[in-house]
Structure 1
Amino acid sequence: MNFNYIKISLLFLVVSLAACSSDDDAVDTATGENEVRIGFDNGVNGDDLLLGASTYINSNDEVLTINRFNYIVSNFVLIDAEGNEYTYPKDESYFVVSEENDLTEVSLKNIPAAEYVAIKFGVGVDQAKYQQGAEGQGDFLEIAENNEMMWSWQAGYKFLNFEGTFTSETVAEATNFKIHMGSHGSSLDNYREVTLDLPSRALVSDKLSPVIHMAVDANRILDGQNKIKLSEKAVVMIDEVKSPQISENATGMFRVDHVHNGENVQH
């Protein structure tokens, strides 16, 4: 009898059984549901955002001190490795991110087990939600009001509230700036959506609860695809030209830095 052949056959059997066991384990871990957290790390052109404490220079040669950086994110969708989309329940899918009030993490509950490779979300509040009326906003209306994200109910939500002071070559004394961007009726809809690939898969199961770490660059608001000069107009609220440009810039300020897959059993 060829003992080498027997050894090779036994080795092949062991490897096959191990592979099957590994596959079974992979299937077993991809069950249940858990929490997905999204952390928003706010910065300015690669530096940490320190409200009222640091100055930042943009490509327009304007020197900014930022005192407020708040924005609304909404309508979250997670996309798995097969291209399937899980849409988070709409009535629970509106959040304020506020640097000054330490609201920098979003928690999505009861996410089905899967390997997620991309995330999609809105910047602002969509028309369908706003048209549900004040009663249809639930607790989010009060949250927005408490975080300076409302003009009034009739005027609607501020999708972005970006404030501080600046100087430039033509503005010697520190001057206040206010960038408030939102929709104003159906004629000026500045709600936008962002889709981002994850640098590594976010693994969700009854034992795995990932954290998606988002790097957010406030510099892109003025210094993005569209150049917005504060020295030309320091207060932008309802502007048919600049408001849509700012909304496009705001979609470019998000980047997924990394994904942390940790163990956590959701209760």
Structure 2
Amino acid sequence: MKFQLKKIAAVVVIAISLFSCSNDDEVISGNGNLKLEFDNVYNANNLAFNTPYTNSNGEVVKINKLKYIVSNIVLTKADGTTFTLPKSQSYFIVDEATAASALLNLPNIPAANYTKVSFGIGVDQAQFNIGATGQGDFLALAQTAGMMWSWSAGYKFLAFEGTFTSSTVTTATSFMVHTGQTGTDYNYTTVTLNLPTNALVRTTITPQVHIMADISKVLNGTNKISLTASNGMGMGAMIMSGDKLPLITSNLPTMFSVEHVHND
């Protein structure tokens, strides 16, 4: 009986060893797809338009527009090498008013285990410097979405708008925060996020990376920006240039975090 038990145990060990070797020796080849899902929130709450949120300055904001450009997506593999999405496929507009825009479908991704994702907020200066004819279909898309001032002024990287009140501004007053090229400040920024679970791109698996975007960080990130202090001349709080814009730009990477990865 003992001899039979030993034989059974040996068979189990061999089977486990063979299974482990099979996993370790998995041949990963071909191309697959990857999805990036952007989920806009305000602090711990799902973002909802025209809903009051109080920031760290004691201002009550109600948001009615939120759009931002996501660009230049780079994926890092477990071995440290990277895959850069082709420029022609690498510009998107996430619009809170259009649910479908929050899910970016990335095709023809080399099969691999991915550990990081990085992307830009805005259109990089090198791409802009190619000129209007070099922008492809994205120029028309940005114009239709209202994400350009004009060609000479350039793209809006972030459009964040609504109304606010405070202890001294008691009537609902409009605000607009637009980032982009202003003077010598280009205000393009990049974000790099570690994935809590590897994204397993395979010909048969399309991972979906769920990215949280905490919109409160636009004004209440590392730098605290007061809408009340920017209010003036009967036009509301208009932050589209000046010394506050680089501060807001440096806040933007702090907005983003990865909640989870689905490997389905």
Determine if the TM-score, normalized by the shorter chain, exceeds 0.5: yes
Report the Cα offset of residue 14 of structure 1. Answer: 3.3
Alignment of 1:115-126 (within 5 A): 115-126=113-124
Q: Do residues 254 (structure 1) and 256 (structure 2) align? A: yes
Residue number in structure 1 paired with 2:41: 43
Q: Do residues 85 (structure 1) and 82 (structure 2) align? A: yes
Report the Cα offset of residue 6 of structure 1. Answer: 7.0
Distance 1:210 1:90 in 2: 21
Contact 1:182–1:189 (CA under 8 A) maintained in structure 2: yes
Alignment of 1:5-154 (within 5 A): 7=7, 10-24=11-25, 27-28=26-27, 30-52=28-50, 54-102=51-99, 103-154=101-152
Give CA deviations for 1:184-230 in whole Å, capped at 9, x if unaligned.
36x21211111110111111010010000011111100111111100
Give CA deviations for 1:67-119 in whole Å, capped at 9, x if unaligned.
00100110000011111111110121111110113321111111011111110
Distance 1:191 1:21, change over 3 A: same
Q: Which amino acid aligns with 1:246?
A: I
Aligned-residue sequence identity (percent) comes to 47
Q: Do residues 217 (structure 1) and 220 (structure 2) align? A: no
Report the Cα offset of residue 31 of structure 1. Answer: 2.2
Identify the range of structure 1 (98-107 vs 37-46) with the bigger mean alpha-carbon deviation. 98-107
Report the Cα offset of residue 13 of structure 1. Answer: 3.4
Distance 1:17 1:156 in 2: 59
Distance 2:168 2:6 in 1: 86
Report the Cα offset of residue 20 of structure 1. Answer: 2.7
Task: Give me the CA root mean square deviation.
Answer: 1.7
Name structure 1 gaps, 5 residues minimum.
Answer: 263-267
Name structure 2 gaps, 5 residues minimum.
Answer: 231-236
Report the Cα offset of residue 12 of structure 1. Answer: 4.2
TM-score by length of 2: 0.92
Q: Which amino acid aligns with 2:246?
A: P
2:238 to 235, 239, 260: 235
Give 3-state SS (helix, strand or coil) of 1:31's partner: coil
2:159 to 158, 161, 164: 161
In the alignment of these two chains, the number of paired residues is 255
Give 3-state SS (helix, strand or coil) of 1:207's partner: coil
Give 3-state SS (helix, strand or coil) of 1:159's partner: strand
Give 3-state SS (helix, strand or coil) of 2:229's partner: coil
Distance 2:95 2:115 in 1: 26
